[in-house]
């Protein structure tokens, strides 16, 4: 099942941190987040899921963002999730509204993200 969240992501200066700080708009992850057309990709990704059946899927921004982080940092799936858990900039990059100390997803989800994104890419290629 896929449910798109309608709550817009706040600008980096409004991202809630537990220590009342602010994210810098000049951080590389904030800048990259602004360059990616998340909403355009989100529509295509949502087509992979049933509207009525199954557990709600993670948003595309979380899926692709996590895979981008993994590739840029050159880390394992588990280490990628640990980096995200520790870093508010990475949490912002994947679409969270505020810092959270708990991991936003399990490392095993990266296998599913890769598979779904690859399936969607293959469908897009065959429909062109």
Give the residue carrying structure tokens 């809630």: 16
Range of the domain at 108: 57-127
Residue 106 placed within a domain:
yes
Residue 4 placed within a domain:
no
Q: What is the pTM (predicted TM-score) of this model?
A: 0.76
pLDDT tens-digit readout, 24-62: 899 999 999 999 999 888 887 777 777 777 777 778 899
Residue 123 placed within a domain:
yes
pLDDT tens-digit readout, 64-91: 999 999 999 999 999 999 999 999 999 9
Burial of 55 (0-12, 13-18, 19+ CB in 10 A): exposed
Q: How far apart are the first and last CA of the chain?
A: 26
Residue 38 placed within a domain:
no
Residue 15 placed within a domain:
no
Domain count within the chain: 1
Instruction: Report d(CA 75, CA 72) in Å as an integer.
Output: 8
């Amino acid at each position: 099942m896929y449910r798109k969240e309608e709550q817009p992501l706040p600008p980096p200066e409004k991202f809630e941190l537990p220590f009342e700080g602010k994210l810098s708009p000049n951080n590389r992850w904030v800048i990259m987040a602004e360059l990616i057309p998340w909403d355009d990709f989100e529509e295509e990704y949502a087509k992979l899921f049933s509207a009525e059946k199954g557990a709600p899927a993670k948003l595309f921004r979380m899926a692709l963002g996590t895979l981008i982080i993994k590739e840029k940092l050159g880390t394992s799936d588990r280490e990628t999730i640990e980096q995200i858990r520790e870093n508010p900039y990475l949490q912002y990059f994947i679409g969270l509204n505020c810092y959270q100390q708990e991991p936003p997803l399990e490392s095993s989800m990266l296998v599913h993200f890769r598979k779904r994104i690859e399936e969607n890419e293959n469908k897009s290629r065959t429909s062109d």
